[in-house]
Amino acid sequence: MTATQSLQQSQTSGVLKAVLQAGTLVCLLVAGGTTLKYKLMGGENPARLLNFAASGIFGEAAYSEGSTMIVVGILLHVAVSVVWSLLFILLSSQLRKISKYWWLLGAMYGIVIWAGMVFFVIPLSRIGFLGFDIVNVVTDIVNLTLCAGLPIAYVAAKQGFLR
């Protein structure tokens, strides 16, 4: 193995480690934040949140297929968390000049995630565009900023991607 190959392998494993750490953290935090919001707004069964995620692929059938769709919802939630984490980690090399403000980058990225989900991911799924409700907009932006954007930027900074 040449020095270049060794460096590339090291960089790849560093990216993978950071993406898995950030993705796992985001997955758990967003699930917790979303469940809290759901319960505070009178939701009875938090598993319906996972059915909602699965409905992006399976439509209304996701609400009647039982535990299989809950597992699909979990897998989709994990996949989305990892993809948003990967995107930030890969873009972070372009953000090095403002990297000492990782918290600002994280806050802005939380808003980017919200916009990406609301204007692209959900509308392009079988769910479709959900419209706007000011309470949901504000709570979702806060949730995605605190539970996704900031943790992703923190992991990227700690793993050296913003240096």
Residue 135, amino acid: V
pTM for the structure as a whole: 0.88
What average pLDDT does range 153-158 have in this prediction?
A: 92
* Residue that the structure tokens 């995630």 belong to: 113
Determine how many CB atoms are found less than 10 A away from the CB of residue 104. 13
pLDDT band at 160 (very low <50, low <70, confident <90, very high): confident
DSSP one-letter code for 130: -
96, HSE (Cβ side, Cα atoms, 13 Å): 7
Q: Is the pLDDT of residue 131 over 80?
A: yes
Segment 12-65, tens digit of pLDDT? 778 999 999 999 999 999 999 999 999 998 988 989 999 999 999 999 999 988
Three-point CA angle 104, 105, 110, nearest 5°: 100
Token reading at 19: 């993406």
